[in-house]
Amino acid sequence: MQLTTINPATGQPIRTYPQMGRDEINQKVLAARTAFSEWKRDFGKRKALIYTLVEYLRKNKIQLAEVATQEMGKVLKESISEVEKCAWALEFYADNGGSFINEEVLNTDARKSFITFEPLGIVASIMPWNFPYWQALRFVAPSLMAGNVIVMKPSSVTTQCGLELEKAFRQSGFPEGAFQIIVGSSESANHLIDSDVNAVTFTGSTKIGAMVGQRAASQLKKCVLELGGSDPFIVLEDANVEKAANGAVKGRFINCGQSCIASKRFIVSKKIAGEFIEKFIHNTSRLSIGDPMAIETDIGPLVNKDALENISSLVDDARLKGAEVLLGGEKTGSAGYFYKPTILSGIKPDMRIAREETFGPVAPITIFEDEKDALRIANDSEFGLGASIWTENLNKAETLSRQVESGIVTVNNVVISDPRIPFGGIKNSGYGRELSRYGMLEFVNIKSVRFYDNLIHHHYVE
């Protein structure tokens, strides 16, 4: 079997790849197992190789960015930023990974007690297409520094991005088997989970994530799931409207709206709604739509035809049920999968766009009466990944931030991932954490060790 990648800006094929079968996947896992025995022993070597990889990414960022833009349509300037962010995260873990997994000495009744952090082994990874480098390397960096090895299946949409990562590791001097790529479909992902791996990490949709989690759990393999989001963007009456309107454009339309932590539900106080909407429309209307390879372009195509049809159907459903289209609301361009940046008002709970994850350049606005109402709307979602709150009253913001049901809350800025802070969600947005020390500890054995001189009589209760 073969898979073919498509350029979403033109709708034309890019390249065809042979898919890997079960035997080839097992061979890669065996190579990873062989590599692990040595890789886990030498922290200094791991650190040095990570720094080498950082330099490779910075040196080759334009070429890497062009591959991502061609495969999934992200505008070139965003692809370049993505590669730069990957280098930052790798450098962060090379700088700080040692302190994150330093042994911890405890004070107990034993002569000596300590906790050590040991790698689990082979981490199987199933990654999405929307940030093909970042979403891979943000888990790879801490996992490798902890002493694990990686076998990763990139999205079939961004197969070449995955192969470019494998090349980057190889050219940076990593030993064979430390980081490998699987080329294939969902069947290949299942083979990978079922193989001799120790843990699984998945980023993608809630539906597929549930299946991955179930399959991993049935084999007692540790699993981290980073799934969808429907992040509320709450604008209170005392917000700086100019800054909020600027943030709304940044939060909604990055990556053509195809981000799990993009701002997806705009919840605005009725007292400033008119001013906010006017500025939001003005800012959005200035975005440049077109060839994603052009450095001046702001909005590229959606990733494929299915994504275009889905976002169009969400807008049509909202329009049919009474929403007002304030801007956009239609496909554009004679080729490729382009959709105009869109702003909707008059959103009601029975509309699909109020319930489903909006993975595209569409901003639905709901107007609220008071802060209690805003909080109710924000939390009325099956998702719980991120949220942003806009207000000049930071005491109020702190109170509300503790009541929003999400893994991340940002005040007076949009939600972004950052290697220094934990990243992940609750509810149908998944479980486990990536990034920071917490992300590193997801794939280690937290081992407790105690030394006694003599047998001490305890009440031996498990």
Give me the long-range contacts of 402-405 (CB less than 8 A, separation at least 24).
403/375, 403/379, 404/232, 404/375, 404/378, 404/379, 405/378, 405/379, 405/381
**276 residue type, one letter:** F
Known catalytic residues are: 226, 260
**Tokens encoding 89:** 């995260």
| Cross-sheet strand order for the sheet of 104-106 | 104-106, 112-119, 444-451
Nearest to 91 by CA among 47, 131, 124: 47
Q: Is 421 helix (H, G, I), strand (E, B) or coil?
A: coil
What residue type is 341 in one-letter code? P
- d(C-alpha 21, C-alpha 17), whole Å: 13
Query: What are the beta bridge partners of residue 339?
Result: 331
* 425, 384 contact by CB (below 8 A): yes
Query: Kind and range of the H or E element at 307?
Result: helix 305-320
Cα of 65 vs its chain's centroid, Å: 17
How far is residue 348 from each of residues 225, 252, 376, 377, measured CA to CA in Å?
Answer: 30, 19, 14, 11
